[in-house]
């Protein structure tokens, strides 16, 4: 956990730093926003920023967004000035912490940032075997390819691999290759010099240099444009990169971990993925099994999410009844752990009484798993007599509804790129079809 503290915080900075350090965070301190941006551009990565509420939070948040630096911001201020807190949240801060700092509050913020990426919960023998293999290969410097369906926990396993490696004290840097447009991904990976392209307001260190000494996770590597794959291959082979607009190569020492929810060998056959790059990435393969193939994990994960969302919503923690657990085990979990998490969040909110009962277990369409199972037709609607385009549109829209409008999740389930999905949805909308609105967290990007 890397924490960047910005500003003087009226003399409370020392105490806040001590608390964060005692909780295992690596803390850096800068005096103002310009210094913070300079540090971030030059490879001083951070997982969380705490900023003095007296500084221009809106400017910091806007600069981070404009330069595509993904960094949650928490505002801090002396006392409990409600107006300052509201203004900070409106300016883009995720949270407001009053000072003098309370150890419990700072610990809660740090835990909220790190919990999901570091918690590897399991009970099933299939996952136990995967973790045994991960422990065995973690100490090597070999590139690792982690495969599995969307929502199975590939990034969580990648972080676990890093923490078990000899590079555990060095940075772990992740980049989602599916979330960044092709024309910007090169500079995100390799960095750029000031003026290299429109919007390059300052020199910026890329993910390769930020991860120097540690691990770089290339999430959803199959979405990378094949032309950029050639530059990535060279960087991995030569252990050096060229910044966009740069004049000389830069040496890097990193371990590469990549994830994919697709069959990359099939992508090679289609001509969308380089075979030589696959060989470089796939020195060792770790396959995360889908949730339906690790049934013993359903109960332990459900209990974890029930506790998490009870705490997050200020509700009492309730045990899961035997009937509710039976409902959970009936579901097919096409969205895997991610879908189970959403289901348990709903269950915590819907539950009444001393337990989470079966009535609180609802699928995205509102039905219980047993109801969906009972009403499922013996054979799906026949596609005979319908056009391929009509069947495809129905499949895409039904999948999108299942994902509550989340384009990224739907594209992963369908096995198509997010770009292809968006193009098809634009066409369907122009044809008059009812297209679900983007899911939470995607609205700004769509």
Q: How far, in Å, CA of 106 to CA of 112, rounded? A: 10
**Tally of CA atoms within 13 A in the half-sphere of 144 that contains its CB:** 28
CB atoms within 10 A of CB 437: 11
Contact 71, 80 (CB under 8 A): no
Q: Which residues contact 198 (CB under 8 A, 6 or more apart)?
A: none
Q: Which two tokens stand for residue 57?
A: 């939070």
pTM equals: 0.70
Which is nearest to 52 in space by CA: 96, 20, 18?
A: 96
What is the rounded distance in angstroms from the CA atom of residue 58 to the CA atom of residue 87? Answer: 9
CA distance 271 to 257: 22
Where are the extended beta strands (E) located within 11-116?
A: 26-30, 48-52, 73-78, 95-99
**Residue entry with tokens 């193939």:** 293
What pLDDT is recorded for position 380?
47
Closest by CA position to 24, among listed 48, 1, 56, 58:
1
Domains of the chain: 2-118 (3.40.50.2300), 128-287 (3.40.50.300), 292-375 (1.10.8.60), 388-445 (1.10.10)
Query: Using CA atoms, how far apart are residues 359 and 41, in angstroms rounded to an integer?
Result: 50
Rounded to 10 deg, the angle between the 13-22 and 103-118 helix axes is 40
Q: Is 18 exposed, middle or buried (0-12, 13-18, 19+ CB in 10 A)?
A: middle
Cβ-in-10-Å burial (0-12, 13-18, 19+) of 413 comes to buried
CA distance 305 to 321: 15
Dihedral sign for Cα 87, 63, 99, 317, please.
positive
Task: For the chain, give percent helix, strand, coil, nearest 5.
Answer: 50, 15, 40
| Whole-angstrom distance, CA of residue 44 vs CA of residue 272 | 34
* Local confidence pLDDT in tens for the 446 residues of the chain: 788 989 876 666 667 777 777 777 788 889 899 999 988 888 777 888 988 888 999 999 999 888 878 888 988 887 667 788 888 889 998 888 887 767 777 777 766 665 544 568 899 999 999 999 999 999 998 999 999 999 999 999 999 999 999 999 899 999 999 888 888 899 999 999 888 887 777 888 899 999 999 999 999 999 999 999 999 999 999 999 999 998 899 999 999 999 999 999 999 999 999 999 999 999 999 999 999 999 999 999 999 999 989 988 889 999 999 999 999 998 888 889 999 999 999 999 999 889 999 999 998 778 888 776 655 554 445 565 567 887 888 889 888 887 778 888 888 888 888 888 988 998 888 777 788 888 644 544 44
């Amino acid at each position: 956990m890397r924490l960047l503290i910005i500003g003087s915080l009226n003399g409370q900075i020392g105490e806040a730093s001590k608390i964060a350090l005692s909780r295992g965070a690596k803390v850096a301190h800068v005096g103002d926003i310009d210094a913070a941006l300079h540090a971030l551009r030059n490879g001083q990565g951070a997982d969380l920023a705490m900023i003095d509420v007296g500084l221009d939070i809106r400017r910091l948040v806007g600069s981070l967004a404009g330069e595509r630096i993904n960094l949650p911001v928490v505002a801090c201020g002396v006392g409990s000035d409600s107006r300052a807190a509201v203004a900070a949240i409106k300016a883009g801060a995720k949270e407001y912490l009053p000072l003098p700092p309370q150890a419990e509050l700072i610990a809660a913020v740090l835990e909220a940032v790190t919990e999901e990426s570091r918690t590897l919960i399991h009970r099933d023998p299939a996952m136990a075997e995967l973790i045994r293999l991960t422990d065995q290969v973690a100490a090597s410097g070999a590139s690792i390819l982690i495969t599995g369906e969307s929502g199975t926990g590939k990034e969580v396993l990648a972080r676990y691999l890093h923490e078990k490696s000899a590079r555990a004290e060095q940075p772990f840097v992740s980049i989602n290759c599916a979330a960044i447009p092709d024309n910007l991904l090169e500079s995100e990976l390799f960095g750029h010099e000031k003026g290299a392209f429109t919007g390059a307001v300052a020199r910026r260190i890329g993910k390769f240099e930020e991860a120097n000494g540690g691990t770089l996770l290339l999430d959803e590597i199959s979405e990378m444009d094949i032309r950029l794959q050639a530059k990535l291959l060279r960087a991995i082979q030569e252990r050096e990169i060229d910044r966009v607009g740069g004049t000389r190569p830069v040496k890097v020492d990193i371990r590469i971990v990549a994830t994919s929810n697709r069959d990359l060998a099939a992508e090679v056959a289609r001509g969308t993925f380089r075979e030589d790059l696959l060989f470089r990435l796939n020195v060792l393969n770790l396959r995360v099994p889908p949730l339906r193939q690790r049934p013993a994990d359903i109960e332990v994960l459900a209990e974890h999410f029930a506790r998490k969302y009870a705490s997050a919503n200020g509700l009492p923690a309730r045990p899961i009844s035997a009937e509710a657990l039976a409902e959970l085990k009936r579901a097919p979990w096409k969205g895997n752990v991610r879908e189970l998490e959403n289901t348990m969040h709903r269950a915590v909110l819907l539950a009444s009484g001393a337990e989470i009962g079966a009535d609180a277990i609802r699928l995205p369409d509102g039905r219980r798993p047993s109801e969906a199972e009972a009403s499922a037709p013996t054979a799906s609607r026949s596609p005979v007599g319908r056009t391929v385009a009509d069947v495809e549109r129905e499949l895409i829209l039904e999948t999108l509804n299942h994902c509550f409008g989340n384009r990224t999740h739907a594209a992963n389930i369908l096995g198509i790129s997010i770009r292809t999905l968006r193009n098809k949805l634009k066409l369907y909308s122009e044809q008059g079809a009812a297209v679900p609105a983007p899911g939470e967290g995607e609205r700004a990007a769509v």
